[in-house]
Chain A
Amino acid sequence: MGYEYVLYGIAILFYGAASAALVGYVYFKRWGQWARVLTWAAWSLHTVALLLRVVETGRPPLLYLFETVSFFTWLVMLNYLVLELVLGLQVVGVFVVPVTALLLLTAGTLPRGALAAAPWLHGSWVMAHVSLGVLSYGGFALAFIAGVMYLIQDWQLRRKEFRPMYYRMPPLEVLDSMGYYLILFGFPLLTLALLSGSLGAIPVWGGAWGTDPKVIWSLFTWVIYALYLYLRLVRGWGGRRAAVLAVVGFGAVLFNFFVINLYMTELHRYVNL
């Protein structure tokens, strides 16, 4: 375990440095090169740390809260790096990388207790449920960032205040459709996560799980994203309203992850908390 902490420590430092370089990039375009190098270095370390964990335990890194956060941020970073390679949207990193650094740091310093993993946690239903959930959260996270960027740029265009950030941003329409496609990607995954969760829970928990706060909140989250797609596809919503909804939706996801998991749910607790 020791070397893993060291690896994560260095990775977080690199993410921090990359964040600083990305903020610099907003003001001076040439900082982008440094930011790119640092980001890739951080993500490579992150990848190694995750791989070591998987090799050591022989299961997906989704059992403990920290693992899950690590896997989740890794996934979001992967999406971002692909996005940057394909579309050249380094500006997305200005939001993604600092959030990744903060999430890793927060999850890394949360209190840990010792709790034996229940045998049912290793079941394939559970693993499918958790993996699908994390994958969908990855999509929602980037949709959230696209939404925030949309709102910032919309604000700048309306207020006619052209800060350095204005020059780095892609067109509004690009941000709008980026958010849309990411939610289109995340929503079916979330749906499958909820279905596999309920199917897997019946033999283990019986009927009691229906009142678990996490289950209720997850349904609520699902409804927000369903509403997003409904308004978009049927009512022709887009632009600012859609962006706000994408931000609200991910707010619900974060609340689920950090507040409900830690303080409210009995059944959905991570193993060592």
Chain B
Amino acid sequence: MRIIVVGLNHRTAPVEVRERLSFTRDRIEPAYEALHGGPVRECVILSTCNRTEIYAVVEKYHAGLEAVKSFLSSFHGVERAAFEDHLYVLSGSEAVTHLGRVACGLDAMILGETQILGQVKDAYMAAVDCGAVGKVLHNLFEHSLRVGKRAHSETGISQNAVSVSYAAVELARKVFSSLQGRKAMIIGAGEMSELTAQHLVQAGVGEVIVANRTWERASELAARFDGRAVPFSEIVDWLSRVDIVISSTGAPHVIIKYDAMREALRARRFRPIFLIDIAVPRDIDPEVQSLDGVYLYDIDDLKSVVAANLRERQREAEKVEEIIREETGVFEAWLNSLEVVPIIRSLRQKAEDIRKREVQRAFNKLPDLTERERKVIEAMTSLIVNKLLNDPLLKIKEFANGSQGRLYIETVSELFNLGEREDESDVAKVEGGG
């Protein structure tokens, strides 16, 4: 039994290949029907715009891999040659670690993004609905969801905005102790300012004031935020009353001038004001930055904040890797214990079979034994078998939890020639568990 992952992502394959191998929601059921069964005992298909991955529990590595690859080819009607070079195949603990990294967003296009965790969960749920998940993948996916949650709560991997509009909100948070009840003014009702305003309102900004050249658009946007539209000519008056200004007009000249800002500041008694200028050419005279209490950011500044935030996430990634290592160890210990139970059972069974057979042979050769003598021989042979097996059985349990657990289990299985029939009972067990 082996866990494998076969897949491709934004790094290994161009979009032309990814789109041909992606699974849409409405075709997921037939996909599971085609993939599940045969050498593929359990499977989960994870398909997002950046990746298509198939997690599978297979009996034999090569047969399983073949089955998954030919499924990909026949289901999508794509020749294997067209995608095989872009595939990566991982198995065992590497596959477990990989899913952990995917769930945490370490493998994502935007480092530490949180959306993928939901996508992993959805993919898992869909596989459960289609009956493709057994005991092993059930535990594997629960494990990865736990890893993802831990990464987001215990590290800063998903902290600090990596989009320009959200970076603006975070900067505002570095100035104001709270955004609760603050006033924001939007000048020029573009898409970008709308998005930023939306983030601000979510963060607690109480009142939104919209100024736009066309009155209609201003009142429309104001209505969306339960705010207030004001004429363009009143902008300067409002500077003394709002805490945050987002400006993105198409005006060819400066709208907020240095002198106006200085006047406004005096009226505000130097309470800080936070200005975001995402217009090109710029709407706010950059000179205002020299005034006390003015924090002004243009589009390039915001982009450099995003770059800095990404570097900060990079540093946190190390800690996430540590969590993944830790949790992978826990999962593997469980996986090994799963395999050790049938091994122990069949080792006992084999010894008992041999004992019974040989005792019967001896009895056949010695027909004159009394009932008491027979009992003594039975008891003695049982004792020999049990005492002989006692240490190895204890040791197997112990080794199974070690880092080399798999190797020991395989060795014991080979040594006592337990392999073939073990696999049968294992299948029954795993499928019964799902």
Q: A residues within 8 Å of B by Cβ?
A: 27-30, 153, 157-158, 160, 162, 164, 166-167, 169-174, 177, 236-241
Residues of chain A with a CB closer than 8 A to B383's CB: none
Verify B295–A153 contact, CB threshold 8 A: no
Verify B270–A171 contact, CB threshold 8 A: no
Bound CA span A174–B272, Å: 12
Residues of chain B with a CB closer than 8 A to A157's CB: 171, 174-175, 295
For B264-304 the 0/1 string (1 means CB < 8 A from A) is 00000111100000000000000001001101010001001
Contact of B305 among A158, A160, A238 (CB under 8 A): A160
Contacts A162-B305, A167-B160; A240 near B292 (Cβ below 8 A): yes
Contact of A173 among B270, B272, B297, B319 (CB under 8 A): B272
20 more A-B residue pairs beyond the given contacts A171-B175, A173-B175, with a C-beta to C-beta distance below 8 A: A28-B315, A29-B156, A29-B319, A30-B155, A157-B175, A157-B295, A158-B289, A160-B304, A166-B174, A166-B308, A167-B156, A167-B160, A169-B174, A171-B174, A171-B178, A173-B177, A238-B271, A239-B270, A240-B292, A241-B292
Verify A172–B175 contact, CB threshold 8 A: yes
Shortest beta-carbon distance, B379 to chain A, in Å? 59
B312 within 8 A of A: yes
Verify B316–A29 contact, CB threshold 8 A: yes
Bound CA span A239–B316, Å: 32
Residues of chain B with a CB closer than 8 A to A169's CB: 174
Shortest beta-carbon distance, A140 to chain B, in Å? 22
Residues of chain B with a CB closer than 8 A to A171's CB: 173-178
Pull 16 A–B residue pairs with CB atoms less than 8 Å apart, ordered by A. Answer: A29-B155, A30-B155, A157-B171, A157-B175, A158-B295, A160-B297, A160-B305, A167-B156, A169-B174, A171-B174, A171-B175, A171-B176, A171-B177, A236-B270, A239-B272, A239-B293
Verify A236–B269 contact, CB threshold 8 A: yes
- Nearest A-chain residue to B174, judged by Cβ: A171
- Chain B CB count within 10 A is highest, among A153, A177, A239, for A239
Verify A27–B315 contact, CB threshold 8 A: yes
Bound CA span A99–B156, Å: 29
Shortest beta-carbon distance, A25 to chain B, in Å? 12
Verify B176–A173 contact, CB threshold 8 A: yes
Contact of B308 among A162, A170, A237 (CB under 8 A): A162
Verify A172–B319 contact, CB threshold 8 A: no
For B296-340 the 0/1 string (1 means CB < 8 A from A) is 010001001100110010011001000000000000000000000
Nearest 10 A-B pairs (CB), nearest first?
A: A236-B269, A162-B308, A173-B177, A174-B177, A171-B177, A160-B301, A172-B175, A239-B293, A157-B295, A240-B292
Bound CA span A172–B295, Å: 11
Bound CA span A270–B308, Å: 51
Residues of chain A with a CB closer than 8 A to B309's CB: 162
- Nearest B-chain residue to A27, judged by Cβ: B315
Residues of chain B with a CB closer than 8 A to A173's CB: 175-177, 272
Bound CA span A27–B319, Å: 13
Bound CA span A63–B176, Å: 44
Residues of chain B with a CB closer than 8 A to A160's CB: 297, 301, 304-305
Shortest beta-carbon distance, A193 to chain B, in Å? 31
Residues of chain B with a CB closer than 8 A to A162's CB: 304-305, 308-309
- Nearest B-chain residue to A170, judged by Cβ: B177
Size bin of chain B's contact surface? 20 to 34
Verify B270–A238 contact, CB threshold 8 A: yes
Bound CA span A170–B293, Å: 16
Bound CA span A167–B161, Å: 12
Shortest beta-carbon distance, B307 to chain A, in Å? 9
Bound CA span A8–B179, Å: 45
- Nearest B-chain residue to A242, judged by Cβ: B270
- Nearest B-chain residue to A156, judged by Cβ: B174
Bound CA span A243–B293, Å: 12
Verify B269–A172 contact, CB threshold 8 A: no
Bound CA span A162–B160, Å: 12
Complex interface residues of chain B between 11 and 63 (CB less than 8 A to chain A): none
Contact of A30 among B174, B176, B319 (CB under 8 A): B319
Shortest beta-carbon distance, B240 to chain A, in Å? 13
Shortest beta-carbon distance, B295 to chain A, in Å? 5
Residues of chain B with a CB closer than 8 A to A28's CB: 315
- Nearest B-chain residue to A235, judged by Cβ: B269
Residues of chain A with a CB closer than 8 A to B155's CB: 29-30
Residues of chain B with a CB closer than 8 A to A167's CB: 156, 160, 312
- Nearest B-chain residue to A177, judged by Cβ: B177
Bound CA span A28–B305, Å: 19
- Nearest B-chain residue to A174, judged by Cβ: B177
- Nearest A-chain residue to B292, judged by Cβ: A240
Bound CA span A160–B175, Å: 13
Verify B316–A172 contact, CB threshold 8 A: no
Verify A164–B176 contact, CB threshold 8 A: no
Residues of chain A with a CB closer than 8 A to B177's CB: 170-171, 173-174, 177
Shortest beta-carbon distance, A168 to chain B, in Å? 10
Residues of chain B with a CB closer than 8 A to A158's CB: 289, 295
Contacts A27-B315, A239-B272; A153 near B292 (Cβ below 8 A): no
Residues of chain B with a CB closer than 8 A to A27's CB: 315
- Nearest A-chain residue to B305, judged by Cβ: A162
Shortest beta-carbon distance, B355 to chain A, in Å? 57
Complex interface residues of chain B between 140 and 197 (CB less than 8 A to chain A): 155-156, 160, 171, 173-178
Verify B292–A239 contact, CB threshold 8 A: yes
Residues of chain B with a CB closer than 8 A to A29's CB: 155-156, 316, 319
- Chain A CB count within 10 A is highest, among B156, B177, B271, for B177
Residues of chain B with a CB closer than 8 A to A166's CB: 174, 308
Residues of chain B with a CB closer than 8 A to A170's CB: 177
Residues of chain B with a CB closer than 8 A to A174's CB: 177
Verify A164–B304 contact, CB threshold 8 A: no
Residues of chain A with a CB closer than 8 A to B174's CB: 153, 157, 166, 169, 171-172
